[in-house]
Every structure is written in structure tokens, then in C-alpha cells.
Homo-oligomer: A and B are copies of this chain.
Amino acid sequence: MNDDLNSVKFNPEPAPEESAKGRYHHGGLRAALIEAGAQLLAERGLEGFSLRECARRAGVSPAAPAHHFGDARGLLTAIAARGFAEFGAALEAAQAGLSTRSIRLRAQGRAYVRFARANRAIFDLMWRSAVLNQADPELRRAADSAFATLLSAVPDSGQGKRNPNAAAAWALVHGYARLALDGPLEDAPETFLDQVLERLTVS
């Protein structure tokens, strides 16, 4: 993903020195913990996640993370926020330069599912609202921005806030992604998704 974008986002201080090892002040601990946490999630899932292990991987004492994130929820929220930022960027990139809405929608659908498959632990986390601090402004901003990008490709049926076209497109793509992660469509090829997206009537 876009590392530059994210290190700017989460570590607004000057870039940490190459070798932060052995120094008393880590220099980029916040970003390092997010990275360690993301890797830990990928390896062991949410069940195997712990603040202590993140600290261990970042080469720092068990009490250090509290300084930046308070508790596990805080760190998980930051990881999810980074996930949504990358997710939104992927959707944006997928549709950039494409002209018609329906073409942009298909392209975003593919990017949506591809992101879920390539980042399954993070994608899972992004939707586990019970373990996140949903009020966190950074999380909210990143999530809302990603959703807005997706929905910008759906024709507005003029039904106001609750738009069945948007919900149908979102549900179809989101459901496909979930089924691709959770079993039933685990090994479906990308072309199959295209066939599925064709079943969507959005006018």
C-alpha cells in the first residue's frame, strides 16, 4: 500500500532515523506499533492480538503503547483507520480516469474485492465495530471518505439519503467480498465477479 501517505498521516513528526534500534526514544513508535499490530493481526487474527506482543515486536516495553494509544482499542482503531485510508485510496485509484458511472462502479467493485482478499485481517478488523472506537474522528473520516468514493459511482435514483441503488451495489460487492473471504466463494476467479456484477440493475 501507500506507505508515504500513511506515515505522513500517523507520524507527523520528521521521519524517524533509519536505525532507531538501541535508542531510548524510538522516534516513530506510533507508526511502528501500527505496523506491528497489522502484521500480528495478519498472522494470528484478532484472537491472537495483544498490546504486549505489539510492544515486543516494536522492541519496546509493555507499557509504552499506552502512551500513544491508551489501550488495545485505541491501537486497533488506528490500524482500522489506516486500513480505511488505504481502502479508499484503492477505490479512488481504480476508478480514476474512467468515464461512465457503470464502468467506474465495476472497477471499484473489483478493487473492493481485491483489497479484501489482499488484506483480509485488516478488512475483517475494519468491520468489527465492537472492538473499535467508532467515535474516533480519524476512523470516521477515513471510513466515510472511502464510502463516499464508492457511492459516487452509483447513479442517484433521487430517493434521497436512503438510496436503493447505492445500497444494492454496496451490498452486492460487500457480500461478494465476505463470501470470498469466508468460504463459499473462496477460490472464485476475478472474471466470476464481473459476471456477478452484471446482475446488478441500477438505473
**Could you say how many copies of this chain the assembly holds?**
2
**A24 in the interface, Cβ–Cβ < 8 Å?**
no
Contacts of A202 in B (CB 8 A): 199
List chain B residues, Cβ under 8 A from A13. none
* Interface SS of chain A: helix
Interface flags, A162-177, vs B, CB<8A=1, else 0: 1011011011111111
Q: Which of A139-166 contact B (CB under 8 A)?
A: 147, 162, 164-165
Complex A-B: 23 CB contacts under 8 Å: A47-B131, A127-B178, A127-B182, A127-B183, A129-B182, A134-B183, A162-B188, A162-B192, A164-B195, A167-B176, A167-B188, A168-B196, A168-B199, A168-B200, A171-B176, A172-B172, A174-B175, A175-B176, A175-B177, A175-B178, A178-B178, A200-B200, A201-B201
